[in-house]
Amino acid sequence: MSDQKPEKTERYLSGIQPTGQLHLGNYFGAIRQHIEHQHAGNSFYFIANYHALTTVHDAAQLRAYTFDVAATYLALGLDPALCVFFRQSDIPEVPELTWLLMTATAMGDLQRAVSYKDKVERGLPASAGLFNYPVLMAADILAYESTIVPVGRDQVQHVEMTRAMARSFNDQYGQEVFTLPRHQLSEAPAVLGLDGAKMSKSYDNTIPLFLSGKPLKKLVMSIVTDSTPLEEPKDPERCTVFALYSLFASAEERAEMASRYRGRGFGFGAAKQALLEKIEERFAAPRQRFEKLRAEPSFVEDVLRDGAARARAVAGAVAERARQACGVG
């Protein structure tokens, strides 16, 4: 008999905040990867509605945003049988673990959080919730014994802080209560907004996923371009329209479009029309499924509740270990 221990199965965890209409940046930056990765198994995806409370202060709006995130994921192809999909607030162990972790976290570590400084500089109120955001994020990660957390470069620090909190708690109580996760840099492309900056609800420069018809056309046609005349060649690599078109296009289509840019007599209006057609084509079927799901809220709710039950089966065991370790169990 071999003395080798079986390798632990990797568990992926990712969350998305319900803070407004989901847009192309959300899709290409995270949602598409989540849906593709569900086939690998053992993935946990949650709707981070506790995190959203730092910016959304209208109860009805938060409920609507949360539902729309769930319906969007399902409409785009997330299969709850292949992954664990749930709502953060349905897991009471998470806020409990947040408090337990705070008792083992140095205040100085939280003061060094780059995201906190950035958000305060952008005008968000410096609330205790915003300050302790990394601890809640750590609880999200550690509650499900996550081993891999896919993130962009701006989120790497949060995973490192999570590791530090877990290590501090384990050392403080002399037990391996929490599994230390590691980050995995996302290969998601940068998605530009209408103004050429990163697409973000904060900058009001987004293209909502399921917008269509005249409202969609109005937005696409408003994408900022330079003043190069119709008859002059254009540089596709410096054009927001081309960057967005490339997200949808095949390699051959991208090369053909680049060639048209570098020729003469091709205007930005034609490029925007080509982008508009790509968006309509990609999201036509999911848009129909989304509208159907919005008419069946009980189905979406059942999916989230089932996911929460599966998530709590893991989080409950982790929370009990933590309680026993620090003497409140």
Nearest to 198 by CA among 113, 278, 122, 287: 122
d(CA 175, CA 167): 10
Catalytic residue among 5, 8, 117, 201: 201
Q: What SS3 string covers 26-62?
A: HHHHHHHHHHHHHHHCCEEEEECHHHHCCCCCCHHHH
Amino acid (1-letter code) at residue 62? L
Active site residue 119: yes
Residue with tokens 């900058």: 203
| Residue in 8, 117, 198, 234 annotated catalytic | 198
User: What is the Cα–Cα distance from 262 to 236, expressed in whole angstroms?
Assistant: 7
The catalytic position among 117, 119, 217, 272 is 119
In the sheet that holds 84-87, the strands lie side by side as: 84-87, 43-47, 12-16, 148-151, 182-185
Q: Which active-site residues does the annotation give?
A: 119, 198, 201
